[in-house]
Chain A
């Protein structure tokens, strides 16, 4: 294990170059370039604000818009990772076929690039929540929640990037899977609504979807008591989500490490 980390450290320069490359290519040719990372979430908030007001889908819930925006931003980070992971290996066929380096750098660089993008989202999201007067608390815990989400994203990226090498249907299945996952996660609705379907003893089942726990934590830290939904969640639920994230990472690392030798044959 230790030697793995050492190897990764040796390859940090390649990782960094690939992260920069991923970011550069995302905005290549656009006039505003990097600013899109800020403009994206800004317009997202604006548009949801307008339509949430017109369509009244807050169902009388206080601070619905804020909780929705947090949910959407957090979800987008995952969704982008899932999408990009299809091409983390497949999009670098030439590198994989012609050069030797630890393959795991490819999905890792992709996730890192998305993390940087996500951090820029926070530059918009945090001021917005401040202006909206959300009682934030224990913000120092935010990086931990982020780390858990990164764990999930990286784990999923490892699984999907491997799967897409061997099975080209992954792309189509992912589209359907992501949509289902989106509605299974408390983005549009509060966690409470999910729990209403389950007897209290089985509440942890909802948290088997790690996004439930992650979104809950973000909202808890950013909105505090402003969201009444947030008090009645068992700690076991959050712990379940954390364990699922770690399990996904474990499965991802295992799958990737065991299949990477075959990448060159299949591509």
Chain B
């Protein structure tokens, strides 16, 4: 499985511009469905890009963590590297023997004994029987299964099963080890054993790719982290930075449930642009700094004395502050077709975190809501001041009464 191309000696894995596209057929594998599919050929099949133009390379001896939400394409990526599936486009080059733990104990047959399964796995990895013989005792010892090795694995507890799976996969002594979410199974003692083993692999200069949702562990063990989302590569870099980005994205996604858009549509908010006083567009602001938001609108017909309002909520949907043009004393006589209003917020008091802006346009008597976009516009506040809660209040202390 070794393709020696123009690859640098120090590179263990080189992935160039790979995509993996799945056809989502409504049908399945039955003849009836295939015939129906042919007849309904006019509707093009829906495609899912599980991996979308991803490129990266991993150096020899490097540990690369892979993070991302469910459906980000992490497991697809490891399957592609294992070569159980093949990319729709792009190339993958690997140097050295690849052992993958896509699933612990994958390929074990329930009716065969632990011993037989160990040799089956070795043979699948292409390891000669005598080499497996030499390692057999070490495998059994690592798995802690001395008394059960001749029992059929179907009688094993799930813990015993994964222990044997891990033991045999690491004992085959690969150059590249691909690990998918292994840390999620097994008890604490087993997890520690796994992590120790990974550390040992690192010391031995082996290349590892690890998928995990345990961000704390993956940050400690990885040299670099690859951040995937919906098949796309959002970043590749220092563990801390990537995990920060991932957490930010997760938070932003979680706020989507608060989003709501409604109204009569006589006036529509067409865009909202956040910028600083200089007009530079941005979505991250400093605590204590200023924020401007330009709201563009489009009116279907002339509307007399409309009111523009805003509110800002924290990531759990609690309103921090809200106001409108009426309250602020800005009188708008009439709007015709398109235009813009700009909101200025000074000395932002909020603590660090994600905040959601709502904007609305309604009639001056609050009876008709032309267009409301609730919690649709996220911004991030950065803050290096230390205080409790989600808003800053200037406070001082003095001694005595």
Place the interface of chain B in its size category: 20 to 34
How many angstroms between the C-alpha atoms of A100 and B99 in the bound complex? Answer: 9
When distances are taken between beta carbons in the complex, the residues of chain A under 8 Å from B22 are: 265
For residue B116, which residues in chain A have a CB less than 8 angstroms away from its CB?
17, 21
Q: How far is the CB of B50 from chain A (nearest CB, A)?
A: 10
Interface residues of B in 97-120 (CB under 8 A from A): 98, 100, 102-103, 106-107, 109, 111-112, 116, 119-120
**Complex Cα gap A166–B22 (Å):** 15
Are B100 and A17 in contact (CB-based, < 8 A)? Answer: no
Name the contact of A169 in the complex, choosing from B31, B79, B86, B129 (C-beta under 8 A): B31
Residue A8 interfacial (CB < 8 Å)? no
**Interface centre among A21, A24, A98, A168, by most B CB within 10 Å?**
A98
Residue A129 is within 8 A (CB to CB) of chain B in the complex: no
Q: Does B34 count as interface, using CB distance less than 8 angstroms?
A: yes
Contacts A95-B107, A96-B84 given: A13-B129 contact, CB under 8 Å?
yes
Whether, in the assembled complex, A247 has its beta carbon less than 8 Å from a beta carbon of chain B, the answer is no
A contact residues, total (Cβ < 8 Å): 28
B199 at the A/B interface (Cβ < 8 Å)?
A: no
- In whole angstroms, what is the CA distance A140 to B276 when docked? 93
Within 8 Å by CB of A99, from B34, B82, B86, B129, lies: B82
List chain B residues, Cβ under 8 A from A101: 124, 126
Within A62-99, which residues are at the interface with B (CB < 8 Å)? 94-99
In the complex, B123 has a CB within 8 A of chain A? yes
B28 at the binding interface (Cβ < 8 Å) = yes
0 or 1 for each of B211-242: is its CB under 8 Å from A? (1 = yes):
00000000000000000000000000000000
Tell yes or no: B135 within 8 A of A by CB: no
Bound CA–CA A266/B85 (angstroms): 10
Interface string of A1-32 (1 = CB under 8 A from B): 00000000011011011100100110010000
12 contacts between A and B (CB under 8 A): A10-B126, A14-B126, A18-B120, A94-B103, A94-B107, A98-B82, A98-B102, A99-B100, A99-B106, A168-B29, A169-B30, A266-B29
Considering the complex of A and B, which 6 residue pairs feature the smallest CB-CB distances, nearest first? Answer: A98-B106, A264-B85, A14-B123, A169-B31, A168-B29, A100-B83
